């Protein structure tokens, strides 16, 4: 069963590295590394449901990781500016189009409230700390908005994983449908990625 293999593999990694490993992964997720929180937090919820991890400790560790990852991105933007971000970003799979869209959005609504909302928006939440730093946003509004947004988002995904683990027997009942869904999502993701890159290359060549 594909879902069983994936879940057990993810749980084994987190179980081995502990809270520090989960915090580290969420720190990467909050920077420009391609580590999606959707691939980490639900399995943290699995461990909480199994009684191996405490709920408060798991949420605290992952939220601390999210904050420090965001803060490092903020410092990169604050002290290094856009040139520094672009210089190191090419080694970390930074997508320039995504960064530019995030910059335009944040510059048009520069506030702690906007930063908080951005923590729930795919792609944007990975990058928004950079324009916040470039724009010299004050530390405390940045810190409060980041911690609140990250904790709520992490908590939501943790709860989703917790609920899924509690109903694991139902998942096993419909395991073939779940496997087909996962395979379909993987194929769709790969197809979209290829289409997106081809489209961008054609646009660059047209210019």
pLDDT in tens, 85-111: 777 766 565 666 667 777 776 665 567
DSSP annotation string for the chain:
-HHHHHHHHHHHHHHHHHHHHHHHHHHHHTTTSS--GGGTHHHHHHHHHTTSS-HHHHHHHHHHHHHHHHHHHHHIIIIIHHHHHHHHHTTTT--HHHHHHHHHHHHHT-SHHHHHHHTTSTTHHHHTHHHHHHTT--HHHHHHHHHHHHHHHHHHHHHHHHHHHHTHHHHHHTHHHHHHHHHHHHHHHHHHHHHHHHHHHHHHHH-
Contacts of 117 (CB under 8 A, 6+ apart): 149
pTM, 2 dp: 0.73
Average pLDDT over residues 111-129: 82
Kindly report, residue by residue over 152-201, the tens digit of the pLDDT: 999 999 998 888 876 655 444 545 554 555 456 556 656 765 676 666 66
pLDDT for position 144: 94
pLDDT tens for 45-84 read: 988 998 999 999 999 999 999 999 999 989 988 888 777 7
């Amino acid at each position: 069963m594909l879902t069983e293999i994936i879940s057990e593999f993810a749980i084994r990694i987190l179980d081995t590295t502990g809270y520090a490993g989960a915090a580290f992964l969420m720190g990467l997720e909050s920077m420009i590394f391609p580590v999606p929180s959707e691939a980490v937090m639900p399995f943290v919820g699995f461990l909480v449901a199994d009684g191996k991890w405490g709920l408060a400790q798991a949420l605290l560790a992952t939220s601390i990781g999210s904050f420090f990852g965001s803060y490092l991105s903020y410092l990169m933007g604050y002290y290094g500016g856009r040139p520094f971000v672009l210089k190191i970003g090419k080694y970390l799979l930074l997508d320039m189009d995504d960064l530019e869209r995030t910059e335009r959005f944040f510059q048009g609504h520069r506030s702690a409230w906007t930063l908080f909302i951005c923590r729930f928006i795919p792609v944007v939440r990975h990058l928004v700390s950079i324009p916040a730093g470039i724009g010299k946003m004050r530390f405390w509004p940045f810190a409060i908005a980041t911690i609140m947004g990250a904790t709520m988002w992490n908590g939501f995904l943790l709860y989703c994983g917790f609920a899924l683990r509690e109903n694991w027997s139902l998942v096993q009942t419909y395991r073939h449908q779940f496997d087909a869904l996962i395979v379909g999502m993987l194929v769709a993701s790969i197809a979209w990625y290829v289409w997106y890159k081809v489209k961008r290359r054609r646009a660059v060549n047209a210019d």
